[in-house]
Structure 1
Amino acid sequence: MTVKMAPPRRRVSAAATADSPTVPGLPAAVGNAGGLHATAVFTVPADLGSTHHVRKLVVQTARHWRVLDEASLGDLELCAGEVVANAAEHTGTPSVVLVSVTTSGVRVELTDTRPQLPEPAAPDSDGESGRGLLLVDALASAWGAHPTGTGKTVWFEIPATPRPAGCEGLRQPGHRTAGWPTAA
């Protein structure tokens, strides 16, 4: 399993501007729909019940920007749900989600107050949890975490390029996923 670390990046301000597109349910969407600086920021309650709503907001934001196909939007929704659920379950405090357009797709960053970085582990075969980061690793083109001054940021990126049809299209060349050999 590969976990890639990335340092914090400079971002466009989260404050809305007069020409900012708006996405219902989000306090701010900054930048233009086709631009590389399109960003949305919102606060997530520390409640597992909010995971479904947050997943839908993340997808609605990316759909508004028209940078991902429907299959990639599904991957985005699943990965967003996993990182939001992890934050709600392990921190018990609100977190902040930043969704942004990159040159290769969409990046989601979740910042919470718990300083411990996530460590993927082999799930218990009978357990109902423990597979979230394995799913993120399988679906995202890259993901990682880095400490912040008051906690950590967990991030992942979903590529804009469509994937080939069929099961083999789910794996990317050179991308190791638990239980799958590296594609040649």
Structure 2
Amino acid sequence: MQLEIRPDPAEVGRARRWVRSRIAGSAIRVDEPLAETLILLVSELVTNAVVHTGSPAVLRLSLPGTAPDAGAGDGTAGQAPATVRLEVADTSARPPRPRCVDNDETGGRGLALVDGLADRWGWSPEGAGKRIWCEVDRSSPHSTTTTTCETAPATFEGGAGAYCAGKSAYEDLAYEAV
């Protein structure tokens, strides 16, 4: 599934609504913590594309398929399979750059949030632009990642990127995407 995004900040809200509607038609319950995590991740990735590129983008969402057989015997009966994947492709070749920000700055934390909430994320070149992706595993308990912004080179799927690593606790914060 995919949604075309115009280079307009109002598109962030439209992307959240679109993902909510797709989640509602999937094996993920809208009241699960996973649903709100996905909405927040979409918010951050689409905001980055709209604000930092000023060009159209494409949001792709891969939701789990049908629930496994009830007789699986592994405690996952009635739950959807493992991974949800979000991707935002834009026309800017400029790689994503996590930033170190002061506590009183109002922006610059998007990729740190993605890093803290997603089980995996990265980016790769796509055509003349790039594709930024993240994955959330439904079946594994979400581990809280602590993060500081020491920018260091890292290799992600298909390309080089940067990441924040270290300590800055998100575990005491609650996120709500509206």
- Same fold, judged at TM 0.5 (above): yes
* Corresponding residue to 1:83 among 17, 26, 45: 45
Distance 1:60 1:159 in 2: 20
Q: Which residue of 2 aligns with 1:99?
A: 61
Distance 2:105 2:11 in 1: 22
- Alignment pair present for 1:114 and 2:92: yes
Quick one: which amino acid aligns to residue 85 of structure 2? R
- Alignment pair present for 1:64 and 2:34: no
Unaligned runs of 5+ in 2: 65-80, 149-166, 170-178
Deviations 1:18-64 (A, max 9, x none): xxxxxxxxxxxxxxxxxxxxxx1110111111101201211321231
Unaligned runs of 5+ in 1: 1-39, 164-168
TM-align CA RMSD: 2.1
Q: Give the TM-score, by structure 2 length.
A: 0.68
Quick one: which amino acid aligns to residue 129 of structure 1? G
Deviations 1:143-172 (A, max 9, x none): 111111210000011221374xxxxx651x
3-state SS of 1:177 partner: coil
Deviations 1:56-97 (A, max 9, x none): 211321231113661011110001000100100011111011
Q: Give the TM-score, by structure 1 length.
A: 0.66
Distance 2:20 2:118 in 1: 15
C-alpha contact 2:6 2:57 (8 A) present in aligned 1: yes
Distance 2:106 2:168 in 1: 21
Deviations 1:99-122 (A, max 9, x none): 013552210110001101112121
3-state SS of 1:158 partner: strand
3-state SS of 2:42 partner: helix
C-alpha contact 1:96 1:111 (8 A) present in aligned 2: yes
User: Larger % of strand: which?
Assistant: 2
3-state SS of 2:10 partner: helix
Superposition map of 1:122-161 within 5 A: 122-161=100-139
3-state SS of 1:136 partner: helix
Quick one: which amino acid aligns to residue 36 of structure 2? G
Quick one: which amino acid aligns to residue 109 of structure 1? E
* Corresponding residue to 1:51 among 5, 8, 12: 12
Quick one: which amino acid aligns to residue 45 of structure 1? R
Q: 1:62 to 1:112 in 2, by over 3 A?
A: same
Q: Which residue of 2 aligns with 1:166?
A: none
Q: 1:177 to 1:79 in 2, by over 3 A?
A: same
Quick one: which amino acid aligns to residue 139 of structure 2? T
- Alignment pair present for 1:177 and 2:147: yes
Quick one: which amino acid aligns to residue 82 of structure 1? E
Q: Identify which of structures 1 and 2 has the higher relative contact order when contacts are C-alpha pairs closer than 8 Å and 6+ apart.
A: 1
Distance 1:67 1:160 in 2: 9
